[in-house]
Amino acid sequence: MTSITSNEELKGFIRDIPDFPQPGIIFKDITPLLQDSGATRHVIDTFTDAFRDAELRAIVSVESRAVRRCSRRSGNLGLPLIPVRKPGKLPAEVMSVEYSLEYGTGQLDIHKDALAKGDRVVVIDDLLATGGTALAAAKLVELIGGRVHSFAFLVELGFLNGREKLDGYGVLALIRYD
């Protein structure tokens, strides 16, 4: 276990994978960070501290890898965890939104009964790139009656200007690449 004292130290756990998922893309692989319990603990503690007093009703997590990590964060805050997934991954009735990615299009689903009207949430995801996925998650939350308090990301690709799409929401990113 590594002892991490700052977000900047987390960058050492991010691995660049060139030409993935397609030529010209440099994928920021967080797997080495997830494999280090000290780095993972720092992430969980930082997010927990950031949202402890935000009067949230739930944590909304985008896709499966983020869901696994967020389950610990939601437990630390005593909040339910609401998954937002790709089509066909949620078993009950869903609300869906299509959105643009940096290299294509996608769709996200949320259970229609996941939140009560007015529930205030933080949306957590691994990566902020162009902002399309985050904005789609926010639209889903709002379509079923929730309110997005803020977003939290492990990595932000600042050069893609995704934060601009999230204007009006709070945004926390632990690692930023410009």
Q: One of 65, 120, 147, 176 is an active-site residue; which one? A: 65
Instruction: Give, as one character, the DSSP assignment of residue 130.
Output: S
Q: Are strands 147-157 and 120-128 parallel, antiparallel or unpaired?
A: parallel
Residue in 9, 41, 63, 102 annotated catalytic: 102
Q: Which structure tokens are listed for 178?
A: 């410009």
Q: What does the alpha-carbon distance between residue 99 and residue 151 come to, in Å, rounded to a whole number?
A: 17
The residues facing 170 across adjacent strands are 150
**69: annotated active-site residue:** no
Question: Cα separations (Å) of 68 from 60, 62, 168?
Answer: 12, 10, 28
Q: H or E segment at 124?
A: strand 120-128
Kindly report each contact of residues 78-82 with a partner whose C-beta sits within 8 Å and lies 24 or more positions away, as own/partner. Answer: 82/58, 82/110, 82/111, 82/114, 82/115, 82/121
Give strand ranges (E) for 1-119. Answer: 15-18, 26-29, 58-62, 81-84, 94-101, 104-111
The verdict on whether 85 is a catalytic residue reads no
- As annotated, the active-site residues are 65, 102
